Amino acid sequence: MDSRPSVVAPCRHCNIETVWLQMAYGGWRLFDAEMHPTDESAAGNRFAIRRLTRQVVDLDDVHEARWPAKCLQLHRFRCPASHDDSLFHHRRPRQANDIDLEDLWHRLAERKVAQRRAG
Ligand SMILES: [Zn+2]
């Protein structure tokens, strides 16, 4: 299986930036490339990246004392048109070489700063 990291890329339906991430249970899912407040998220749409494994876990499945303040969300919750795309993870845009996931978080942080400047 091709486990190269994905790159952040705009959804072809809504142009919002998205990223494919590997699930701890296997498979890949398409997520918004931004974090959302966990307590504003719908059930079934609260995910987090485990730092050790760099894989995504469903927060509704983990029985931890407290959830992180922010979580990842599946893109198809806000963009139903992307649902069919989410079945074709082999088409996902990938990093050409082995750049780790920190790159994603740096990009997200940069976007946040840019948004603050713009706003
Ligand atoms: Zn979309």
For the chain, give the longest Cα–Cα distance: 42
How are strands ordered across the β-sheet holding 17-22? 9-10, 17-22, 28-32
pLDDT of residue 78: 92
* Contact criterion met (CB below 8 Å) for 47 and 56: yes
One-letter amino acid for residue 49 of the chain: I
CA distances from 25 to 11, 32, 78, 80 (A): 24, 19, 23, 23
pLDDT of residue 6: 80
pLDDT of residue 14: 94
Ligand 1 centre distance from Cα of residue 10 (Å):
8
pLDDT of residue 74: 95
Per the structure block, which two tokens stand in for 51?
A: 């730092």
Residues of the chain with pLDDT under 50: 98-99
Ligand 1 centre distance from Cα of residue 9 (Å):
11
* Contact criterion met (CB below 8 Å) for 28 and 21: yes
* Contact criterion met (CB below 8 Å) for 91 and 78: no
pLDDT of residue 105: 67
Ligand 1 centre distance from Cα of residue 35 (Å):
16
Ligand 1 centre distance from Cα of residue 88 (Å):
14
pLDDT of residue 102: 61
